[in-house]
């Protein structure tokens, strides 16, 4: 896991070495194990790297890394879990390797197969390869979007980095706040790809590659689509036995344990992380350091993770650590959290503290159960969206009028959930129903939060269904396929994975997510969408050779929660926030979102939010 960056002066001029290093060193926490930079002989291409070493800890793994023939230069963030098998294939073709790193495997694969090589890679990755002979830059991002990669093109030079704030720190990104990002943040609680909070900076979409030549940057080329995985599974659905599901899960976990340093485990009281711990044990991992967060406010309540998590650790005979977090520590860490938060998000506080706790006990990497709900249908959305769309499919014309009436009176002030006001209008479409399930503010509420011109520009750029329609390319046919595509492509990618990345990297910790694996998804999907498919976490709980205790399987879902809702109340009290945020009946997440958006952590000239007069 690392921080990467680069500048290609594709039109004319030369790379500013000072900018290259400023961008690189804004990502210092991502790579405390080494630094590197390289600039081409003609000065028009430069690359920077911050290293967090996991595979080949020697200097042989340092980057930027040149290919054996000297033609290619690489910077790479992530891990390739099948690199040993790929290396063996290349060696059989006569390739002689100089290092034990997965980075060198990427270089040699690209030298032989070009852009098509990304389909061979199993792992989490974002990388850039400069071809000195062709004078072109190739970028790629992993299929499910675990690792970030951001780009900026000012018409003369092309820049890329692992963080938006790193690009800004370089000094050449002059844009203000992106209206689509700010509008999307208030709608969804996170910034939707491909936009970022900074105008002119874009995320390379998950499952895409990009080529930049001396004629400029090409359009992203998609090589993987979650929607297509489910659509293909629907064309050839088939049942899997629990043994086959267990084998696929065990295979993914075994691959995710490839490392030259020990890997710990984030352990909640839920099925996902508990089952992964059992599968880690089955794969031969021992003495896995497990970490659970505890809060005084949760003591003795159903959302207290500590007791059952400790039971799971004992069940698999692993050392366990409970880290208590207080409101005082939250308030003390908040400036650091906002500085590390690369883009505004209403989540991520839990990831910050569990990553901090893991680092304190000496972990350099940890496994997370993120992705299990998307894979096995664990969210309420898998139940609610099919029900809502069936009930309200023909109600939109009437619903628009009903919503206008309710919102005109101020639904929240009347004690009516604002989402209820939009149920008839939006509940009949899959993307509209998804907005009601996952949305933070409703579209008609945004005029109280944003300048009208900023809002209109933002909505125009987001496009159909506030950006959610982009997930359906193509649209799966089954209810499960539709909901899984939305949850995986939007909530998981834009919020859970992104928050995990910035929060863990702020503590120089690598987080691995075995349930977010393209090969595993392709294996499991046909069993989730076929006739008589049975979803739920039962098969996951029984996947380890020593299954999870029933108390874990049947426990109500809480996740890695924090009492941040209570903590922000005093902080928000007295702020000049709009009524729909200041209203005591407003959900705490709305207050938190307004506080986040009102910070100066992202800079720019566009108004972040409208305070009450």
Query: CA triplet 397, 487, 323: central angle to 5 degrees?
Result: 130
> Within its chain, how far is the Cα of 321 from the centroid?
26
User: Which segments of the chain belong to CATH 3.60.20.10?
Assistant: 2-224
With H, G, I as helix, E, B as strand and everything else as coil, classify residue 300.
coil
Residue 159 has pLDDT above 80, yes or no: yes
Instruction: Report d(CA 290, CA 292) in Å as an integer.
Output: 7
Query: Right CATH number for 227-377+480-559 from 3.40.50.150, 3.30.428.10, 3.90.1150.10, 3.40.50.620?
Result: 3.40.50.620
Which among 432, 430, 426 is positioned nearest to 479, based on CA atoms?
430
Answer for the pair 318, 290: CB distance below 8 angstroms, yes or no.
Answer: yes
Residue 539 parent element (H or E) = helix 538-541
Beta bridge partners of 2: 51
Answer for the pair 245, 543: CB distance below 8 angstroms, yes or no.
Answer: yes
More confident residue, 462 or 576: 462
Instruction: Report d(CA 358, CA 235) in Å as an integer.
Output: 43
- Band of the pLDDT at 82, cuts 50, 70, 90? very high
Predicted pLDDT of residue 424: 83
Q: 0.85 cut: is pTM over it?
A: yes
Q: What's the average model confidence in pLDDT over 89-117?
A: 95
Instruction: Report d(CA 20, CA 413) in Å as an integer.
Output: 51
Supply the angle between the helices 102-113 and 83-92 in degrees, to the nearest 10.
50
Answer for the pair 369, 376: CB distance below 8 angstroms, yes or no.
Answer: no
The region of weakest confidence among 194-198, 357-361, 526-530 is 526-530
Residue 596 parent element (H or E) = helix 588-598
Predicted pLDDT of residue 299: 75
Instruction: Report d(CA 279, CA 273) in Å as an integer.
Output: 10
Question: How do residues 239-260 score in pLDDT, each as one tens digit?
Answer: 899 999 999 999 999 999 998 8
The region of weakest confidence among 60-69, 311-320, 417-426 is 417-426
- Band of the pLDDT at 552, cuts 50, 70, 90? confident
Which among 42, 14, 348 is positioned nearest to 185, based on CA atoms?
348
In whole angstroms, how large is the CA radius of gyration of the chain?
Answer: 24
- Band of the pLDDT at 215, cuts 50, 70, 90? very high
> Within its chain, how far is the Cα of 333 from the centroid?
22
145 — alpha (psi -120 to 50), left (phi > 0) or beta? left
Question: How do residues 261-279 score in pLDDT, each as one tens digit?
Answer: 889 999 998 999 999 999 9
Question: How do residues 400-428 score in pLDDT, each as one tens digit?
Answer: 666 665 555 555 555 567 787 788 888 99
* Longest alpha-carbon distance in the chain: 74
Average per-residue pLDDT for the chain: 90
Instruction: Report d(CA 68, CA 477) in Å as an integer.
Output: 48
Q: Which residues, including other chains, have CB under 8 Å from residue 118's CB and lie 6 or more apart?
A: 140, 209, 223
Q: What is the CATH number of domain 2-224?
A: 3.60.20.10
Q: Which residues, including other chains, have CB under 8 Å from residue 199's CB and lie 6 or more apart?
A: 175, 176, 177, 178, 179, 604, 606
Instruction: Report d(CA 36, CA 21) in Å as an integer.
Output: 9
User: Which segments of the chain belong to CATH 3.40.50.620?
Assistant: 227-377+480-559
């Amino acid at each position: 896991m690392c921080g990467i960056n680069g500048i290609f002066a594709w039109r004319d001029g030369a790379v500013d070495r000072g900018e290259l290093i400023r961008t690189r060193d804004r990502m210092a926490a991502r790579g405390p194990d080494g630094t590197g930079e390289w600039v081409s002989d003609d000065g028009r291409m430069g690359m920077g790297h911050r290293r967090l070493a996991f595979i080949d800890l020697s200097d042989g793994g340092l980057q930027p890394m040149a290919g054996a023939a000297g033609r290619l230069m690489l910077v790479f963030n992530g891990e390739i879990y099948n690199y040993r098998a790929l290396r063996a294939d290349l060696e059989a073709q006569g390739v002689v390797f100089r290092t034990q790193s997965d980075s060198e495997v990427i270089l040699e694969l690209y030298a032989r197969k070009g852009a098509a090589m990304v389909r061979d890679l199993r792992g989490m990755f974002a990388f850039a390869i400069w071809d000195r002979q062709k004078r072109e830059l190739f970028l790629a991002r992993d299929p499910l979007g675990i690792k970030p990669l951001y780009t900026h093109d000012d018409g003369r030079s092309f820049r890329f980095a692992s963080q938006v704030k790193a690009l800004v720190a370089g000094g050449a990104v002059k844009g203000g706040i992106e209206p689509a990002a700010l509008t999307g943040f208030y709608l969804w609680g996170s910034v939707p790809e491909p936009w970022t909070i900074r105008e002119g900076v874009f995320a390379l979409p998950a499952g895409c590659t990009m080529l930049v030549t001396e004629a400029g940057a090409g359009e992203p080329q998609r090589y993987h689509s979650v929607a297509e995985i489910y659509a293909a599974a629907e064309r050839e659905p088939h049942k899997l036995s629990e043994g086959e599901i267990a084998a696929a899960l065990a295979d993914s976990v075994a691959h995710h344990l490839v490392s030259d340093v020990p890997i710990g485990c984030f352990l909640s009281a839920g099925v996902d992380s508990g089952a992964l711990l059992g599968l880690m044990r089955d794969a031969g991992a021992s003495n896995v350091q497990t970490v659970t967060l505890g809060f005084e406010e949760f003591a003795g309540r159903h959302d207290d993770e500590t007791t059952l998590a400790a039971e799971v650790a004992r069940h698999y005979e692993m050392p366990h650590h409970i880290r208590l977090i207080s409101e005082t520590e939250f308030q003390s860490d908040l400036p650091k959290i906002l500085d590390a938060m690369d883009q505004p998000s209403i989540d991520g506080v839990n990831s910050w503290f569990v990553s901090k706790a893991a680092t304190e006990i000496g972990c350099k990497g940890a496994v997370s159960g993120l992705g299990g709900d998307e894979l096995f249908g664990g969210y309420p959305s898998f139940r609610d969206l099919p029900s809502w769309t069936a009930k309200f499919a023909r109600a939109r014309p009437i619903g628009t009028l009903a919503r206008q009436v309710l919102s005109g009176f101020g639904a929240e002030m009347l004690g009516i959930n604002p989402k209820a006001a939009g149920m008839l209008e939006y509940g009949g479409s899959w993307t509209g129903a998804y907005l009601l399930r996952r949305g933070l503010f409703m579209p008609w509420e945004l005029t109280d939060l944003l300048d009208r011109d900023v809002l209109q520009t933002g909505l125009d750029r987001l496009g159909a269904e506030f950006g959610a329609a982009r997930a359906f390319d193509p649209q799966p046919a089954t209810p499960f396929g539709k909901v899984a595509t939305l949850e995986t492509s939007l909530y998981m990618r834009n919020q859970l994975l992104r928050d995990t990345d910035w929060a863990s990297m702020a503590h120089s910790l690598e987080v691995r997510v075995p349930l977010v694996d393209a090969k595993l998804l392709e294996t499991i999907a046909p069993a989730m969408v076929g006739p008589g498919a049975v979803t739920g976490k039962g098969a996951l709980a029984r996947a380890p050779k020593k299954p999870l205790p029933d108390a874990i399987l049947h426990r109500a879902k809480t996740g890695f929660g924090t009492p941040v809702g209570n903590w922000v109340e005093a902080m928000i009290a007295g702020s000049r926030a709009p009524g729909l945020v200041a209203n005591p009946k407003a959900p705490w997440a709305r207050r938190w979102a307004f506080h986040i958006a009102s910070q100066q952590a992202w800079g720019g000239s566009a108004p972040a939010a409208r305070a009450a007069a």
